[in-house]
Structure formats: C-alpha cells, structure tokens
Amino acid sequence: MTKNLKKYLKSDVPRQSALPLSFAAYASQISPFSIMSLVFSCMLACCILTPANAETITLVSEDNWYPYAAFKDGKISGFAVDVVEAAYAKVGIKVQFISAPYSRCLMLARTGQALGCFDSTNDVALAPNYLFHKEPLFKAVIGIYAKSAAQPAPVKVSDLRGHKVGFTHEYTYGDEVETDKKIVREVAPSDLSNLRKLLIGRSDYSLIYTRIFDYLQVTYPAEFNGKIRQVGVVIEDKLFVSFSKIWPDASRYAKLLDQGLIGIRADGTYQKLEKKWAAPEP
C-alpha cells in the first residue's frame, strides 16, 4: 500500500470529500505486483463463469425412439436430445446424457437414481410418480395402425375395446387409452416389435407415434411398405422430461427447463431444430 493511500485511509477527513473525483492518482501509485494480482483475480473470476465450468446435470434418454431420442451410430441423438440440451444451455446449464431402455429410464427417475427421464407423457399413468415441467419438449401424434387389408373406416379409441392392441412396454398413450380396461393389451418390447406382431396377427391394431412409424417404414421398407397403414388417431400428445420426485432440487431443474424452452422458442433456436430433424436419414 502506498504512503499516500495509507495517509488517506487513516485521515479523519470524511471519505467522500477526501477522495478525488478520479481515483487515477492513487491507482497510478499502486505497485506493479498489486496490479498483476488484481488482473489475475479478474481472469480467474472470468474462468469460473465460462460455459466450460457451468453447472452440469445428467439426464437419461430413451435408447430406441429415433428420431426423438436414441443411441444410434455410437452416440445419443435425436430431436428431443437437441431440444433439452439447447433449453438448458439457454439458462447456463450443461447436460450430460446417458441412454437406457424406456422402462429402465423411468425406473431410474422414479427411484431417485437419476434426475429425470425423457420422453414421457404427463398422463394418469405417470403423473402420480413423477414431477413434470409445464412447457412440453414437443407435441406428437399417436396413430392407430392396422394391416393394409383391414377395414377402411376410421378407427377411434372406443373402437379398440375388445380387440388385441399392440402397446410398447412402459409407454403410455393418454388418459383415454390408459383408463380403458376393455382394451386388450398385447405388449411388445419396442415399437419395431409392436409392428411385427401386428403383421403376423398377434394383434389387431398397434399404437405407434406417427413419426416413429414413418422412420421405421423408411428404415425397414421390405417389411412394412404397403403392408401397414394408419387407420386412426389416439391423440396429439405433449412430451416431457419426467423428473424424479426424490432427487434433490428436481423442481428447480424443472423450472429452469421451462425457462430455457420458452427462451429457445423465442429466439428461433427451436424452429431451427425442428427443421434439422424434419426428415432424418435412416
């Protein structure tokens, strides 16, 4: 500390009147070492606030629901993965992803072993066990599918009663389906298996999200082209991250996700991601 600065700090003169209009006179007398220390401290503070050192969370994505979320070509990718990553980045949070079959994804969140799992519907089957944010990741249509030779008339959910209907393990399909006990469930481990069961007559109908069916039809043209068609719609549903009710601060992360989703829809990021994933390659 310089002599002039010591004298100023020890003086009885009121500080406001003793301090010059500019502090440059005192700053010019500070030693080079002190200046370097100050510069280093500022640089350190900036490093702490860089994105590389941002808060990091881990979420579990489904491993086989492309183009929304899947482990494909050695990495976790999909429209929902990009949306979640962009939304959290908007509020300064970095996301690490791990993938798992959907049933395990839900179990990890339900038992507090993971912060959250996606993609999930906020319906009567899941609402009691999970915490949901308000802004959906996206909306998607659940289609009713049948073999091409089936009746041409549009099929409603009420028409499924008494029929064997293909469901994918642990998937939920909206309140109307989930509360109808007269629908006979033929459960398959994946959407692909669900459709294959339909083709061999194990089920009369299959419930599949339309974009998933479109992707599978392009990926497996020999199996499905001209053999299966959409005959109805269950619902256009909203998809979310299902957060753990046990995980500490889960409600905070749910609110931050809402803020981020609102932000990326406002700044055009969401629309760019929609365009990117409009027609994914097989």
Model pLDDT for residues 120-179, shown as the tens digit of each residue? 999 999 999 999 999 999 999 999 999 998 777 799 999 999 999 999 999 999 999 999
Residues 25 and 83 in one domain: no
Task: Decide if 282 is inside a domain.
Answer: no
Q: Which domain holds residue 191?
A: 140-237
- How many independent structural domains does the chain possess? 3
Are 228 and 158 part of one and the same domain?
Answer: yes
Whether residue 95 sits in one domain with residue 133: yes
Task: Indicate whether 38 pLDDT > 50.
Answer: no
User: Which of 40-54, 161-175, 225-239 has the weakest average pLDDT?
Assistant: 40-54
Q: Which residue has the higher pLDDT, 51 or 121?
A: 121
pTM of this structure = 0.78
Average of per-residue pLDDT across 187-202: 97
Task: Say if residue 24 is in the same domain as residue 102.
Answer: no
Number of helices followed by number of strands (H, E) in the chain: 12, 12
pLDDT score recorded for residue 168 = 97
pLDDT at site 50: 41
Calculate the average pLDDT of the chain.
Answer: 86
- Classify residue 174: in a domain, yes or no: yes
Query: Binning pLDDT at 50, 70 and 90, where does residue 82 land?
Result: very high
- E-assigned strands of 189-252? 205-209, 228-244
Q: Residues 210, 139: contact at Cβ < 8 Å?
A: no
Q: Please compute Rg for the chain using Cα positions.
A: 28
Mean pLDDT computed over 57-68: 97
Of 53-57, 58-62, 73-77, 190-194, least confident by mean pLDDT is: 53-57
Whether 69 and 44 map to the same domain: the answer is no
Looking at residue 52, its pLDDT comes to 53
Q: Please tell me the predicted confidence (pLDDT) of residue 24.
A: 41
pLDDT, residue 53, reads: 65
Strands (E), 35-137: 55-62, 64-65, 69-72, 75-77, 93-100, 116-121, 130-132
Residue 130 covered by a domain: yes
- Residue of 147, 145, 181, 172 whose CA lies nearest to 239: 172
> Residue with structure tokens 């519907």?
121
- Looking at the fold, whether 161 and 271 belong to one and the same domain comes out as no
- Shared domain check, 247 and 131: yes
Residue 17: is its pLDDT beyond 60? no
